[in-house]
Each structure stands twice: as C-alpha cells, then as structure tokens.
Amino acid sequence: MKHSISTRKELTILKIEEDVFDFRHGSAFKEIIDSLVIHENSKNLIIDFSLVKAIDSCGISSMLLAHQLANQSHGLAIFVSLCQQIKDLLKLTNLDKQLYIFSSINEVMTLIEPAMKGKRGPRGKAATPAYEAVDELCEELDLIAEHDLHDDTLDVALVDPDEITGQAELSDPPAVKEPGIKKRGRPKKS
C-alpha cells in the first residue's frame, strides 16, 4: 500500500495514496496503524483519504480497527477528506456517528489548536486532569454507612404547616384599574 506519514503539532498524519482502499490493503494498513500507535506511541492519528475514490467492506473494517486501536491507546483516529461515496457508505452503516470524520486537515487543526494551548498551565506546569482531582476528592471524603441513617431522622418535617397557610396573607392585593387611563406596551401576564 502506498502511503506517506508526517507529523504536525503532536498529530501523526497518515495519507493513503491509493485510488481504491480494499481487501488488498487491509493487512498493510493494520501493520502501519500498529507500528504508529504501539511502537511509535502516536496516540492521535489523522488518516487522510483525499486520494481514495472507492472503498470496500475490508476498507471499512480497517477504518474501524484504526479507530479501536487509537481509543485503546487513549488517543483518536480522525478521518479526513473522504469522498462522497465513502461518506454515503458510512452513513448507510451508521458508522458516520461512531467515527471522527472531518472535511480537511485544516479543520482538525483549527479545532485542536485551542485545546493544545490550554494543555499547559502557568509556568509550564502540566495541568491536572479533571478525573485526577475528582479521585483525590473522593479519597478524602468519608462515606456514611447505610446503617448509620435512622428512619426517625428522615421523618422530621422541614417546613412548618402554619408557615404555608400564612404566605397567602402576605401577597399583594390585585391592583385596581382606573377607568379612562390607557397604558401603553404589552399587557402584563397574570
């Protein structure tokens, strides 16, 4: 399988340089994805299909394989520049909702650039991921055992019934309209 590999801002771009992506290229594609994700530790892949005009079921399964391998390494497989025939085929199989599909590499770069800037905090220190902060918080909390809760403490009334009936007396009486005066604007909803 003819292809080229380049890197751009911590993203590995794999460009497939074939007209037809079919069963002949499945094993070679799998080896390339394996070497990029596992051996070269490229978590985020952009796979460029700009030269591919047709695809078969083996090509679709290769796309799914790339998606799964990238997810297992906590990364992404992003597919760009798909022709209309491939887009229609993926839509027919509902894979367009599962795979990350974009129209161009520049669109991906535009979306990723703000995330790359926010990746580092002040003074070059890496920001703590949100899930680590939640884990630390959960470790500090003491959980109340279920047998410590008693039913008699849950039956206490939170609002005094006398307070509920007293609120009707506090409301303002309805305003009396003066005859002959016409107000402008929208009428107030009652």
Model confidence pLDDT, tens digit, residues 80-98:
999 999 999 999 999 999 9
What pLDDT score does 159 carry? 57
Q: Distance between CA 31 and CA 39 in Å, rounded?
A: 11
Which pLDDT score is estimated for 111?
Answer: 86
Instruction: Single out the residue of 11, 87, 12 nearest to residue 49, CA to CA.
Output: 87
* Fold of the domain spanning 3-124: Transcription Regulator spoIIAA (3.30.750)
CA distance 93 to 147: 51
Q: ∠ CA 179-185-190 to the nearest 5 degrees? A: 70
Domains of the chain, residue spans = 3-124
SS3 content of the chain, % helix, strand, coil (to 5): 45, 15, 35
Q: Is there a contact between 99 and 91 (Cβ–Cβ < 8 Å)?
A: no
What is residue 143's predicted lDDT score, i.e. its pLDDT? 42
Instruction: Calculate the dihedral angle through the C-alpha atoms of 25, 26, 28, 29, rounding to the nearest 10 degrees.
Output: 100
Low-confidence ranges of the chain (pLDDT < 50): 121-125, 127-149, 168
Identify each DSSP E strand in 17-80 by its residue range. 20-21, 44-48, 54-55, 76-80
Angstrom distances, CA of residue 100 to CA of 42, 91, 156: 17, 12, 53
pTM strictly above 0.85: no
What pLDDT shows up at residue 60? 94
CA dist 37 and 70 (Å) reads 7
Q: What is the pLDDT of residue 142?
A: 43
Coil, strand or helix: which one is 42?
coil
